[in-house]
């Protein structure tokens, strides 16, 4: 039962072949027997209470396609009842009095919350090793990282601990862990999904999205997840739409842009081979490959690591030990309390980004760094718009390599930053992008470590991306593969 898609589970629930309570119990048992450290907080009573309510809706005929389907939330979305920690000591025991809009939307659809998922502290990281609660292990190879910051979200889907999970993408944190764990994830256009109740990292970049087994599952989840929210000033007011409406359209005549900058030095041979094989499959499906250029790609890393830390330094200033969260025990005065609370409450990566952010926003450096980065960000977005005059979607690798070993880059933050080279520019431009499984690495160590194909679309082209991904998944079985239990 745990290997079935959301659509398959929905059919069984509506046909009364299984109850929401039975389904929830099955996944709760799997979570308890897992050693991946993917979950931070599970509460059987809360979950089974929601499952019972879902069963009542199913019995009364007041059910949606998602009613009774279990889901787990990245611990960056606040949830009433469950702890909301953002993977940080600073919020270790914090319980929110309200639900994030994303959580609220899924609750209204009748989904059943399984618990909260591990993530890099305040979503800062590419490996999920920055969590105060310990690293998440990759289900395909437990000596490998699962990717970050949504490592728990991707690992839970890959290990079939949940059929659906929420995640967030600031610079690639849905697509990169989805790629490294061999699952499907989509980052919608910036503003599609409400940020209300999402613990903020970088406000102009953070965007929620779903991770699931297949593109069809992601489309069903996005239908409930997306929508205008007046409580979020960055939310885009657009009519609701069915993101699954175009899943079965032919790809005949589709033009796929292949950025030459995504296939240069730094891309490992096994990742390139898997991506090239996926592109060849698309040609069989009727698509045409078009050579394009995204010349500012190499500038995306310095641009992102000026803008994101600047916004983080502002957003995280609220964690001062006064209003909520951790407070240092021993201090002499208010200033000492601030300093000790933040020194003891934040991890190294969070402190590093706060310091960088405060520096680039400081007097005398704002124009030289932050303002310049914003100008380059606009040029990066213009590169994409030029590219979309030549193609319908853009494809390439998600990450330069397969998952690396736990601990390999723990002491080298720059190496971690460089792993985001193919995802950052999409986030800076606010474009939708997704990752779908397309193969595995090579060699004794990498043969069981997945590779993801990145698909990037123009603004509000999520239905097109899901169609392109779904057609590939109908022709291949990479998304059906699962790690040995």
**Which CATH number covers residue 115?**
3.90.1300.10
* pLDDT reading at 323 higher than 90: no
Catalytic residue among 84, 173, 300, 427: 173
Catalytic residue among 19, 74, 153, 213: 74
* Number of structural domains in the chain: 1
pLDDT in tens, 294-316: 999 999 999 999 999 999 999 99
What are 253's two structure tokens?
């005549």
Residue 337 lies in a domain: no
**Could you tell me whether strands 255-259 and 184-187 are parallel, antiparallel, or unpaired per DSSP bridges?**
unpaired
The domain of 119 spans 6-225
Residue 143 lies in a domain: yes
Mean pLDDT of the chain: 97
| Three-point CA angle 345, 347, 353, nearest 5° | 115
- The reported pLDDT for the residue numbered 285 is 98
- The reported pLDDT for the residue numbered 421 is 95
Predicted confidence band of residue 432 (pLDDT cuts 50, 70, 90): very high
Contact between residue 267 and residue 400 where contact means Cβ atoms under 8 Å apart = yes
- The reported pLDDT for the residue numbered 253 is 97
User: Mean per-residue pLDDT for 253-279?
Assistant: 96
* pLDDT reading at 106 higher than 90: yes
Contact between residue 362 and residue 369 where contact means Cβ atoms under 8 Å apart = no
User: Mean per-residue pLDDT for 130-137?
Assistant: 98
- The reported pLDDT for the residue numbered 141 is 97
Verify whether residue 150 is a known catalytic residue.
no
- The reported pLDDT for the residue numbered 438 is 98
User: Mean per-residue pLDDT for 358-380?
Assistant: 95
Cβ contacts of 236 within 8 Å, gap of 6 or more: 189, 191, 192, 228
pLDDT in tens, 410-426: 888 888 898 899 999 99
Catalytic residue among 10, 34, 149, 435: 149
* pLDDT reading at 231 higher than 90: yes
Residue 269 lies in a domain: no
* pLDDT reading at 265 higher than 90: no
- The reported pLDDT for the residue numbered 414 is 87
- The reported pLDDT for the residue numbered 124 is 97
- The reported pLDDT for the residue numbered 136 is 98
Residue 90 lies in a domain: yes
Please report how the helices 462-475 and 215-225 are oriented relative to each other, as an axis angle in degrees rounded to 10.
160
Residue 84 lies in a domain: yes
pLDDT more than 90, % of the chain = 96
User: Mean per-residue pLDDT for 240-245?
Assistant: 96
Residue 73 lies in a domain: yes
Residue 208 lies in a domain: yes
pTM, to two decimals: 0.97
Residue 475 lies in a domain: no
Contact between residue 160 and residue 482 where contact means Cβ atoms under 8 Å apart = yes
User: Mean per-residue pLDDT for 158-176?
Assistant: 98
Cβ contacts of 77 within 8 Å, gap of 6 or more: 84, 100, 102, 103, 166, 168, 197, 198, 199, 208
pLDDT more than 70, % of the chain = 100
pLDDT in tens, 171-221: 999 999 999 999 999 999 999 999 999 999 999 999 999 999 999 999 999
- The reported pLDDT for the residue numbered 416 is 86
- The reported pLDDT for the residue numbered 324 is 87
- The reported pLDDT for the residue numbered 413 is 87
439 phi, psi to nearest 5 deg? 155, -165
Verify whether residue 74 is a known catalytic residue.
yes
């Amino acid at each position: 039962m745990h290997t079935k898609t959301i659509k398959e589970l929905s059919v069984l629930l509506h046909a009364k072949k299984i109850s929401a309570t039975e389904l929830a119990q099955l996944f709760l048992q799997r979570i308890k027997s897992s050693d991946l450290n993917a979950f931070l907080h599970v509460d059987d009573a809360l979950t089974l209470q929601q499952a019972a309510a879902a069963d009542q809706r199913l019995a009364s005929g007041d059910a949606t396609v998602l009613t009774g389907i279990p889901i787990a939330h990245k611990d960056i979305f606040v949830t009433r009842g469950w702890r909301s920690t953002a993977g940080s000591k600073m919020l270790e025991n914090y319980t929110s009095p309200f639900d994030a809009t994303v959580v609220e939307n899924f609750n209204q659809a009748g989904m059943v919350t399984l618990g909260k998922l591990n993530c890099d502290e305040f979503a800062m990281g590419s490996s999920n090793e920055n969590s105060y609660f310990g690293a998440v292990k990759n289900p395909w190879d437990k000596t490998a990282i699962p990717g970050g910051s949504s490592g728990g979200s991707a690992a839970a889907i890959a290990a079939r601990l949940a059929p659906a999970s929420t995640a967030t993408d600031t610079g690639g944190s849905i697509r990169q862990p989805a790629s490294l764990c061999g699952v499907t994830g989509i980052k919608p256009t910036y503003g599609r999904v409400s940020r209300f109740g999402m613990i903020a990292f970088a406000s102009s970049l953070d965007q929620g999205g779903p991770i699931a087994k297949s593109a069809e599952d992601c489309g069903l989840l996005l239908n409930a997840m997306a929508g205008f929210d007046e409580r979020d000033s960055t939310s885009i007011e657009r009519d609701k739409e069915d993101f699954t409406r175009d899943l079965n359209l032919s790809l005949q005549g589709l033009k796929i842009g292949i950025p030459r900058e995504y296939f240069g030095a730094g891309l490992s041979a096994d990742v390139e081979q898997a991506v090239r094989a996926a592109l060849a499959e698309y040609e069989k499906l009727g698509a045409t490959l078009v050579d394009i250029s995204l010349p500012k790609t190499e500038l995306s890393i310095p641009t992102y690591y000026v803008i994101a830390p600047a916004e983080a330094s502002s957003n995280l200033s609220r964690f001062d030990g006064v209003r909520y969260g951790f407070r240092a025990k021993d201090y002499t005065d208010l200033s000492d309390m601030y300093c000790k609370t933040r020194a003891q409450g934040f991890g190294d990566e969070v402190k590093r980004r706060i310091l960088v952010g405060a520096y680039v926003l400081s007097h005398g450096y704002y124009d030289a760094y932050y303002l310049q980065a914003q100008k380059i960000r606009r040029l990066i977005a213009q590169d994409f718009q030029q590219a979309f005059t030549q193609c319908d979607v853009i494809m390439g690798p998600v990450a330069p390599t397969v998952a690396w070993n736990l601990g390999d880059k723990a002491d080298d933050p720059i190496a971690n930053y460089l792993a985001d080279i193919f995802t950052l520019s999409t986030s800076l431009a606010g474009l939708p992008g997704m990752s779908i499984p397309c193969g595995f690495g090579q060699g004794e160590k990498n043969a069981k470590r997945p590779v993801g194909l990145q698909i990037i679309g123009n603004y509000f082209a999520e239905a097109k991306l899901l169609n392109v991904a779904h057609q590939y998944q109908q022709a291949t079985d990479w998304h059906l593969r699962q790690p040995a239990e």
